[in-house]
Amino acid sequence: MSAHAAVAAPYENTGVPDGKLAIWLFLASEVMLFGTLFTSYIVLRTAAASWPVGWEVLNVPLATLNTFFLIASSVTIVMAHAKASARDKAGFYRFMGLTVLLSLAFLVVKGFEYGHKFHEGHFPSTSIFYAVYFTTTGLHGLHIIGGVAWNLGLMWWAGRDGWDDRLFLGRVEYAGLYWHFVDIVWIFLFPALYLL
């Protein structure tokens, strides 16, 4: 990706490799994106006449299970990075595979939840609560799909000649950083929509 090796750079630089700086900047912009969604949620909630209680309207036990999936996938992706830095290829495949499986499980549960709501006749246009619910979880779901695609790409690339590429380790770490951010968004989204 970057035009020069991070380590032997003759250039005046900050010691932080390009990729890491880029991913943290990207996460900064994502913080502003999801921050806006949370501001809109809080503003719409304070201005609304009445706001349904998460327990009655949404399936909280299922969402708790979903949270477990996402937290587990966070653990497995950081383990995958640890294994990759320890040059243990089998370990890397095991944990990265687990991460992809857990995120797919999250998507399946989310799909089931959406289907159940559509079946009951609740659509984004039904009320402001459902509008906020579908939009925020939908955008978060899109970010998860992006993450899954990135992780699968990494595994495929590792299989070909990526494992010995000098940028491989960095990219695994950046995939991890992005994934932890998506997990943090869910950590705030889960209580905001379901519990409070």
Partner 1 sequence: MSEHAHAEPSFTERYVFSVDHKVIGLQYLVTSFVFLLLGFSMVLLMRWQLAFPGQPLPLIGRLLSASAAPGGVIGPEFYNQLGAMHGTIMVFLGIVPLGVGAFGNYVLPLQIGAPDMAFPRMNMMSYWLYLPGGLLMLSSFLLPGGAAQSGWTSYPPLSVINPGQTVWLLAMVLLITSSLLGSINFIVTTLNLRAPGMTLWRMPVFVWSQFVTAFLLLLAFPPLEAAAVLQLMDRVFHTSFYMPEGLIVGGQLASQWSGGGQSLLWQHLFWFLAHPEVYVLILPPMGICAEIISNNTRKPIFGYKEIVYAMMFLGTMSFVVWAHHMFVSGMSTTLSNFFLVTTMIISVPSVALLTCLILSLKGGAIRFTTPMLFALAFLPMFGIGGLTGLPLGLTVTDIYLHDTYYVIGHFHYVVVTGSLIALFAGTYFWFPKWFGRRMDDTLGKIHFWGTLAAMNGIFLPMFAIGLQGQSRRLYDPTAHLHNLIGQPLHVVSTVSAFVLMLFQIPVIYNFFYSMFRGEPTDSNPWKATTLDWQCPSPPPHGNFAKLPRVYRGPYEYSHPDHRDDWLPQDAEKAVAS
Partner 2 sequence: MSDHADAKSHEKLYWMVGGALFVLTIATVLVSKYHIPHPWNYVVGIAIAVLKASLVVSIFMHLKWESRLIYYVLGITAFFAVFLFVLPIVDFSWTTGQIIHRADPAGHEAVEHH
Specify the residue, 59 or 127, whose C-beta has the smaller distance to partner 1. Answer: 127
Q: What is the distance between the alpha carbons of residues 189 and 183, in angstroms, rounded to a whole number?
A: 10
Picking from 82, 83, 78, 70, the residue whose alpha carbon sits closest to that of residue 109 is: 70
Sole window of 62-70, 97-105, 141-149, 151-159 interacting with partner 2 (rule: CB under 8 A): 62-70
Specify the residue, 21 or 109, whose C-beta has the smaller distance to partner 2. Answer: 21
In the DSSP assignment, the letter for residue 1 is -
Measured at the CA of 71, the angle between CA 196 and CA 84, to 5 degrees, comes to: 155
**Residue 173: contacted member of partner 2, partner 1, none (CB under 5 to 8 Å, by partner type):** partner 2
The least distance separating partner 1 from the CB of residue 49, rounded to whole angstroms, comes to: 8
Interface with partner 2 (CB under 8 A), residue from 60, 105, 107, 139: 60
The encoded tokens of residue 13 equal: 């630089």
Q: DSSP letters of 131-180? A: HHHHHHHHHHHHHHHHHHHHHHHHHHHHHTTGGG-TTHHHHHHHHHHHHH
- Residues of this chain that bind partner 1 (CB under 8 A): 1-4, 9-14, 16, 18, 21-22, 25-26, 28-30, 32-37, 39-40, 43-44, 47-49, 123-128, 130-132, 134-135, 139
Picking from 39, 27, 58, the residue whose alpha carbon sits closest to that of residue 183 is: 27
Binding mask 2-41 for partner 2 (x = CB under 8 A): ------------xxx---xx--xx--x--xx--xx-xx--
Q: DSSP letters of 36-68? A: HHHHHHHHHHHHSS----HHHHS-HHHHHHHHH
The residues, ordered by sequence, that sit 6+ positions from 40 with a Cβ below 8 Å of its Cβ are 132
Specify the residue, 105 or 187, whose C-beta has the smaller distance to partner 2. Answer: 187
Other CB atoms within 10 A of residue 180 CB: 16
Specify the residue, 52 or 108, whose C-beta has the smaller distance to partner 1. Answer: 52
Q: Which chain residues interact with partner 2 by CB under 8 A?
A: 14-16, 20-21, 24-25, 28, 31-32, 35-36, 38-39, 42-43, 46-47, 49-50, 54-55, 60, 64, 67-68, 71-72, 74-75, 78-79, 82, 85-86, 173, 176-177, 180-181, 183-184, 187-188, 190-191, 194-196
